[in-house]
Amino acid sequence: MLLILPISLATAQNGTTVDQKMIRVASVTDQNLIQFFLFEFLITDTAVAKMEIIDATGNGFGVEDLVKCYPSERIYVPTPSDTAQKVMNGWKFTANYQIVTQNGPPEVFEGTKSDAAQNGILAGLLRGLNRNYKESPIKIYFERDAKTATFEMWGYSANRLSYAAAPPAMPDTVTSYDVLSVTYQDTLVVADTTIYDLLYISRTVRDTVFVGLDEFDVKTPADLPPVESKPKAKTKNRSELWRKP
Each domain of the chain, given as residue ranges in start order, spans: 2-89, 106-160
pLDDT in tens, 44-90: 998 999 999 999 998 899 999 999 999 999 999 999 999 999 999 99
Q: How far apart are the first and last CA of the chain?
A: 160
The reported pLDDT for the residue numbered 241 is 46
pTM greater than the 0.85 cutoff: no
Report the alpha-carbon distance of residue 232 to residue 4 in Å, rounded.
160
Within the chain, how many helices (H) and strands (E) appear? 4, 9
Backbone φ and ψ of 153, nearest 5°? -125, 145
Alpha helices, DSSP H, located in 138-234: none
pLDDT in tens, 170-221: 777 767 666 666 666 777 666 566 666 666 677 777 777 766 655 555 555 5
3-state secondary structure of 1: coil
